Amino acid sequence: MLENGKIFVVVVVLALILVGIFVYLFTIDRKVTKLEKEVEKISEPEK
């Protein structure tokens, strides 16, 4: 499995997918943060 070095092709592909997923998660996280701030703004003046 490790002898012909082809496994590294798979490792690189998997690593890229993982990095992609995490970058995506971070953008979702950022969007939620924005939404939280917006909601905070809307709900505060009424108190």
Partner 1 sequence: MGTQFKYYWWKVLAGILLLYAVVGGFIIKISFEGMEVAAESMRNLFYHVGMWFGMLTMLITGFVYSLRYLRKFDELEDIKAVEAVNVGLMFGFLGIFTGMIWANFTWGSPWVKDPKLNGAAVGLLIYLAYAILRGSIDDTHKRAKVAAIYNVFAFFLWIVLVIILPRLAGESIHPAGGGNANTIMPMHLPPSMRLIFYPAMLGWILLGVWIYKLRVRLRRIKLTIDNK
Interface residues toward partner 1, by CB under 8 A: 1-2, 7-8, 10-11, 14-15, 18-19, 22, 25-26, 28-30, 32-33, 35-36, 39-40, 42-43, 46
Tell how far CA 40 is from the center of its chain: 24
Min dist. Cβ of residue 4 to partner 1 (A): 13
Residue 44 carries which DSSP code? Answer: S
Min dist. Cβ of residue 34 to partner 1 (A): 10
- What is the residue-wise DSSP string for 7-40? HHHHHHHHHHHHHHHHHHHHHHHHHHHHHHHHHH
Min dist. Cβ of residue 1 to partner 1 (A): 6
